[in-house]
Amino acid sequence: MLRSLLLLLSRQSRLRHWLETSAAADRLTARFIAGTDLEAALAVCRRLNQEGMLASLDHLGESVSSLAEAERSRDDYLTALNQIAELGLNATISVKLTQLGLDFSEEECRSNVERLVERARAVACAVEVDMESSPYVDRTLNLVSDLHSRYGGVRAVIQACLYRSETDIENLCAQSIPVRLVKGAYQEPSDVAFARKPDVDKNYVRLMIRLLAAGKNPAIASHDENILRLAQRYAGEHAISPDRFEFQMLYGVRRDLQRRLTADGYRLRLYVPYGKAWYPYFMRRLAERPANVLFLIRNLLRS
């Protein structure tokens, strides 16, 4: 119930405005957000690279309110790509299509993402296209597929909670499009998604095995220890070497596991969010583990 409440609150614009502009914002978000600007995020990337981890930069912001705002997001990401190249960082960028204008014009959105994919290719980087809620899946996968066929260097995200994901994975594997597999962070209706967590977990394992066996450079994005163990065991038993796939985790989540995987020689990419529009992302992280709410309240009271 608390999960549903937090997801509901993640869409409340008044609460969002109040919290994003509050004086306590930094203290509230430091655990999950790398900073409010690109410079802070690049410093985190540099540190992660030094510690043997890869990164994916997420400039926070989704559901922008105009095409002009979407163009600003695109330009921010172009700057991020240029900086990644200039500093020689081992990092990709992660983008959301609603941040690049999808709710206003599919054509403009496509052209914004195309500019990013072109630039990424020029600087030997890659673009990962996050998956948002189920009404966006078809449009997102169509765009990924089109841009990947023309430029390469684009990764799709598939959510194990959706019934359709098995078919989507088969299609993506057939096109050699790299996939990031996640459980799914959005509240979905029961006609499109598994309602029970054990069913989502079971589907995740099935899809993960399919990706490890037939996917191109798949990313296993989870903090679930059972799942990580199963992936390692499956890869070991089927002679899939650690350079043929990667693990991905969120900045600030299960740092113990992050260190362990890296020490054991696995490729691990951290998703590094930064920016001022942190509220929806932050609330989804609380919803994933409601115990985080208590942790935050304790921290706020202490400081």
Ligand X SMILES: Cc1cc2nc3c(=O)[nH]c(=O)nc-3n(C[C@H](O)[C@H](O)[C@H](O)COP(=O)(O)OP(=O)(O)OC[C@H]3O[C@@H](n4cnc5c(N)ncnc54)[C@H](O)[C@@H]3O)c2cc1C
Q: Quick one: tokens of 221?
A: 């994005």
Q: Which of 248, 274, 277, 281 binds ligand X (CB under 6 A)?
A: 248
Binding of residue 182 to ligand X (CB under 6 A) = yes
Binding of residue 223 to ligand X (CB under 6 A) = yes
Identify the active-site residue in 16, 110, 119, 130: 130
Q: Which of 245, 271, 281, 282 binds ligand X (CB under 6 A)?
A: 271
Binding of residue 285 to ligand X (CB under 6 A) = yes
Clarify whether 26 is annotated catalytic.
Answer: no
The residue among 86 and 138 lying less far from ligand X, judged by its C-beta, is: 138
Binding of residue 165 to ligand X (CB under 6 A) = no
Asked if residue 200 lies in contact with residue 194, where contact means CB atoms within 8 angstroms, the answer is yes
CB of 165 to ligand X, least distance (A): 11
Q: Which of 249, 272, 277, 283 binds ligand X (CB under 6 A)?
A: 249
Identify the active-site residue in 16, 74, 119, 180: 180
C-alpha 173/C-alpha 153 separation (Å) is 15
Clarify whether 180 is annotated catalytic.
Answer: yes
CB of 65 to ligand X, least distance (A): 21
Q: Which of 19, 41, 125, 157 binds ligand X (CB under 6 A)?
A: 157
Total number of residues shown for the chain: 303
Q: How far apart are the first and last CA of the chain?
A: 29
Q: CB under 6 A: which stretch of 42-50, 116-124, 188-196, 285-293 binds ligand X?
A: 285-293
CB of 213 to ligand X, least distance (A): 20
Q: Which residues are catalytic?
A: 130, 180
